[in-house]
Amino acid sequence: RVQRVSIVIPALDEEPAIGSVLERVARVRAGLREQGYRFEVLVIDDGSRDGTARIARQHGARVISHPNALGNGAAIKRGIRAAKGDVILLMDADGQHPPERIPELLAGMQTHDLVVGARGGTGHGAHKRW
């Protein structure tokens, strides 16, 4: 059974959204603690020039800051390298990935090695819906 979960959130100038996202993540985490999950939340601040890092720290996230923007891919790689969990869950800082779906992703990890959440709708090609 998966016990330790690292939630990695790359962020660049997300001051307006990051607090709300982290509050939603905290509510989900609280509900999953009873099931034996332990969490760490890492926000990879990719050179933000606003209060993204400060707000993330205020919400209990471990913040790793890049002095300059290196790009989303570099931020994700940095977060994965720093993660201590058995499972790494990647989320966006702007709220487009609903934290309320975390339990479904973790449930999928009980029988699969990789679980990918996908947006619904028809705006993507067939390869994005697989």
pLDDT tens string 101-123: 999 999 998 888 888 887 665 55
Give the pLDDT mean for 69-90: 96
Residue with more model confidence, 1 or 44 = 44
| Out of 62-66, 72-76, 104-108, 121-125, least confident range | 121-125
Distance CA 43, CA 31 (A): 21
DSSP 8-class letter at 95: S
* Per-residue confidence (pLDDT) for residue 117, from 0 to 100: 82
Measured CA angle at 59 (ends 55, 63), to 5 deg:
65
Least Cα distance to 89 among 17, 28, 15 occurs for: 28
pLDDT at 15 over 70: yes
Beta carbons of 4 and 87 less than 8 angstroms apart: yes
8 Å CB contact between 53 and 75: no
- What residue has token string 């993660």? 83
